[in-house]
Amino acid sequence: PFDEERNGLNLGEGAGFLMLEAESIVIKEKKTVLCELSGYGNACDAFHQTASSPEGDGAYLSMKKALDTAHLEPSMIDYINTHGTGTKNNDLSEGKAIERLFGNTPPPCSSTKAYTGHTLGAAGAIEAVFCTLAIQQGIIYPNLRFQNQMNELSFSPVASLQTNRPLKHIMSNSFGFGGNNTSLIFSAI
């Protein structure tokens, strides 16, 4: 993903889930909290049945809504787990949306789909688990096999594993067919 020579995605199989519980239950039952879902946003640009809009309109709106519900500024995001499918359209569209919202120096970002393949309906859940682990372990995953900067973008994804990173807020993007875009923000407790 996000490589100038990218040429499509690999499908994968898998599942993941996180238990979301109300704060009142967590306090009452003295449960251990791994992180907090602090922001969420959904937008549907309905540009095409399978392609994202070239300007990344839906992606931009979902990320902006997630920041707004979390009451965060773009500069407060420490890492973006991108949707990053490795397709010509998706990576360009998401990259343009990231630049639009975060400027030319966005936070570190990478796609984890090179590890799992694109698991379609399970992708968002699996990547939510990756984000939770990143917060707990202070790691930013590398964008596997990245070599060549995309000509159209001003940033590149993280290319090597980063450790000992204090991560307070992580944004996770899941963008689907028909322009259905969701962004979540996971925050350290």
* CA–CA separation, 43 and 25 (whole Å): 30
Higher confidence at residue 104 or residue 125? 125
* CA–CA separation, 79 and 35 (whole Å): 15
pLDDT reported for residue 185: 98
* CA–CA separation, 80 and 111 (whole Å): 8
Rounded to an integer, the average pLDDT of 166-185 is 91
Query: Mapping DSSP to helix (H, G, I), strand (E, B) and coil, where does residue 183 land?
Result: strand
Task: Output the CA angle 65-90-120, nearest 5 degrees.
Answer: 85
* CA–CA separation, 59 and 43 (whole Å): 7
* CA–CA separation, 77 and 29 (whole Å): 30
Rounded to an integer, the average pLDDT of 161-178 is 93
pLDDT reported for residue 39: 98
Rounded to an integer, the average pLDDT of 136-150 is 96
- The number of beta carbons lying within 10 Å of the beta carbon of residue 104 is 8
Average pLDDT of the chain is 93
Indicate the residue type of 54: P
Rounded to an integer, the average pLDDT of 147-164 is 96
Higher confidence at residue 178 or residue 82? 82
pLDDT reported for residue 120: 87
Q: Which of 14-18, 95-99, 129-133 has the lowest mean pLDDT?
A: 14-18
Residue 62 has pLDDT above 70, yes or no: yes
